[in-house]
Structure formats: C-alpha cells, structure tokens
Amino acid sequence: MSNKNIIPIFVPHLGCPHDCVFCNQNKIAGLKDISVENERKTIQEYLSYFKNKNDIQIAFYGGSFTAIDYSLQNTLLKVAYEYIENGSVKSIRLSTRPDSINEKILNNLKKYGVKTIELGVQSLNEEVLISSGRGHNVQCVYDSSKLIKDFGFELGLQQMIGLPRDTEERAIETAKKFVEIGPNIVRIYPTLVVEDTYLEKLYKSGKYKPLTLEEAVDLSAKLLKIYNRNNINVIRIGLQPTEEINYNGSIVAGPFHPAFRQLVENKIIIDKILKTLENKKIRNLEIFSNNKNISTIAGQNKSGSKKLYKDLKLKSLKFVDNKSNDIIFFDRDSLEKINLLDW
Ligand code: SF4
C-alpha cells in the first residue's frame, strides 16, 4: 500500500460522454459541487489533518478528468499546482479514460506537475468492453498506456471483475496483459450493481448475475498473486466504503464487503498455510508473527482460525506476536519450526 497522504478531489461524471453499464458517477463519487472554492477548502482541510507533511498528493478521482473541458481542467489543476509550488503538496494524480489521452493532453498535464495517471481500463477483452458500454477498444488501452509511459508519467491501471460477459479466464488474461504493459500500480474492483444504472436493469430482468462474495474473493486472490509475483503494486482491492457504497447505500447487489482486501489476503495466506502443513499432522499449532499478519491469518470473525482448526484437525491454535514479518509455525508436539516465506 502507498504511504502517501492523499487529498481526494471528486470530479463526478463531468464531461464524460459515456454511460458504462455499471456507472452512476453521481452515486459513486457523491454529488459534490466542483468549484475552485470547494477544491481549495478540501485541500486546506486535509493539509491541516495530516501529521506527516512529507508525501502529500492531490488526487482527482471519479469521472474522466482529461475528458473535461480544457478550461475547467486547467482551472482545477492551477489551484492544485499552487500547493506544489508553495511546497505543501508533492504531486498530483488523476484518473481518466483510455480514449481521453493524447499528446496535447499529456503536455498540458506535465505543465501542472501531474505525476500519476490512472486509466479505468476494466478489461482487456473486446467482448467485455462492448457489453459494458465502455466505448473504447483494447488497442486504445495499449496506445494510451504507451504514451503515458513515454511521457514519463507513473501509470495506473484499474481492472474490474464480474462485468457482463467476463469470466475467470478473461479476468486472468487481462491481468497477464496488464503485467505485459507494465503499470506502476493496479486497482482491482469487483463489479457492484448500483442504483440507477443500466446494470441494475439487466440484473432486475435476470440478464446479469453478479459474482458472489466468495467468487469475487477467490478470483481477486488469483489476480493479486499474479500482480505480486510480477512486483506490481496493487494499491486497492474493492471499492472504498462510503455513505453511498455501503449496505444501506446505493448498492443493489454484488460482492460488496467493507474489508474486501482483508478477505482476499486471508484467502491467499490460509491456502498457503494449508498447503505447507497438509502432510505434517500437526495437532497443537503455534503461529509466530507480527500483529498485522496474525489478524490477516485469523481473519474476520476468526474465519481463518476456524478453517485451520477444521482442515488441519487441530486441537489447539495459538498466535504469538513476535513483531516479525516472518511467519513461523511451531508444532508443540514435535517441537518442529517451519518458516513460511513469500506468502
Ligand atoms: S467512462 Fe468512467 S465516468 Fe464515464 S460512464 Fe464510464 S465509468 Fe462512468
């Protein structure tokens, strides 16, 4: 995860001429009035909260930033750039569509100190892109990613799973193609059915079936392993819970969980532990690691501990915080120690 302090500025649906089947930007980003006054107010507020003033980034989220009118882009960027010039903010990031990138746009973003550009790609399968109403093709993603990298920006790619006509195989193919493109960061979002979207209609008429939570966690775990193996930093898995993105918000259906990433990491580590210990016949197990790893292994509502008890037929399981990143298993009966590296 990034250690940056992020100042989020939401740019809801402004200028986006598209209607992706899953998107209702007004609901996702919140109906915030985007104005220079609000931008300034948000930046000032966040600057006063941050204790660590060293690595602060302004992030334009939601919508498609570079599809907005140049004059509004520049108005928003100018305000952000003032804070870079006075040294209180280090960099700017923004998210946009792959077909809203060209040399003129990138030259403009350079001028204002933008460091990171994230592309909402969602899938690198043509059929999925068409069924999701994205309005751009796969080649466009390759071209814009190359241009962004050639200009020296950091590249982020966002992948969605569970879109119409997506399959596990297609999602894994997309992740492999992302690796070939070589982004600096990736985000993985399971598709949720949000109110007032075309996807809601498809869902209600029985033409779309979202992934279950279990399917989304399993698939995300497979994708995370691909990115981890290739040293690509996955900075988010699952949408951030907000008033709208929540059980009582605008979500109609789909694999929402407020701590989705922890479910995915728990799945990866429990599978790895079971594989490592499967033939060891350990009955009284102690696990030594730091608190973070321990809570990931134990899982929410102790789901990880329960699975270890059940699948390994344990009589006892004890966690010991030894402040270490390593994960060491200690078999109380045989006094054997096993170190699990690279989980
Ligand atoms: S391009 Fe982005 S903002 Fe526009 S409809 Fe699609 S997801 Fe929403």
**Of 70 and 149, which is predicted with more confidence?**
149
Question: Whole-angstrom Cα distance, residue 184 to residue 241?
Answer: 24
Kindly give the distance from the C-alpha atom of residue 172 to the centroid of ligand 1, in angstroms, as a whole number. Answer: 23
Task: Kindly give the number of the ligand 1 atom that is closest to the alpha carbon of 133.
Answer: 6
pLDDT higher than threshold 70 for residue 341: no
Question: Can you read off the two tokens belonging to residue 226?
Answer: 């691909």
Over pLDDT 90: what percentage of the chain? 74
23 within ligand 1 shell (Cβ under 6 A):
yes
Helices (H), 152-259: 168-181, 198-204, 213-229
Mean pLDDT of 204-222: 97
Please report, for the chain, how many H helices and E strands are present, in that order: 12, 13
pLDDT band at 30 (very low <50, low <70, confident <90, very high): very low
Whose alpha carbon is nearest atom 8 of ligand 1? 23
Cα angle vertex 136, ends 11, 7, to 5°?
Answer: 20
Question: Whole-angstrom Cα distance, residue 313 to residue 228?
Answer: 31
160 within ligand 1 shell (Cβ under 6 A):
no
Q: Is 338 exposed, middle or buried (0-12, 13-18, 19+ CB in 10 A)?
A: middle
**DSSP H or E stretch at residue 116:** strand 114-122
The reported pLDDT for the residue numbered 11 is: 82
Instruction: Give the mutation target among 94, 95, 97, 187 for probing the ligand 1 site: most ligand atoms within 8 A of CB.
Output: 97
149 within ligand 1 shell (Cβ under 6 A):
no
The closest of 26, 190, 7 to 94, measured between CA atoms, is 7
18 within ligand 1 shell (Cβ under 6 A):
yes
Mean pLDDT of 37-66: 89
The reported pLDDT for the residue numbered 53 is: 79
26 within ligand 1 shell (Cβ under 6 A):
no
pLDDT tens across 240-288, in order?
777 667 767 889 999 999 999 999 999 999 999 999 888 888 999 999 9
12 within ligand 1 shell (Cβ under 6 A):
no
The reported pLDDT for the residue numbered 239 is: 85
The reported pLDDT for the residue numbered 325 is: 87
27 within ligand 1 shell (Cβ under 6 A):
no
pLDDT higher than threshold 50 for residue 110: yes
Question: Whole-angstrom Cα distance, residue 124 to residue 104?
Answer: 25
**Of 54 and 147, which is predicted with more confidence?**
147
For the ranges 95-99, 162-166, 211-215, 237-241, which has the lowest average pLDDT?
237-241
Question: Whole-angstrom Cα distance, residue 77 to residue 112?
Answer: 6
The reported pLDDT for the residue numbered 33 is: 62
Whose alpha carbon is nearest atom 2 of ligand 1? 63
13 within ligand 1 shell (Cβ under 6 A):
yes
The reported pLDDT for the residue numbered 19 is: 78
pLDDT tens across 121-144, in order?
999 999 999 999 999 999 999 999
pLDDT higher than threshold 50 for residue 31: no
pLDDT higher than threshold 90 for residue 10: no
174 within ligand 1 shell (Cβ under 6 A):
no
pLDDT higher than threshold 60 for residue 32: no
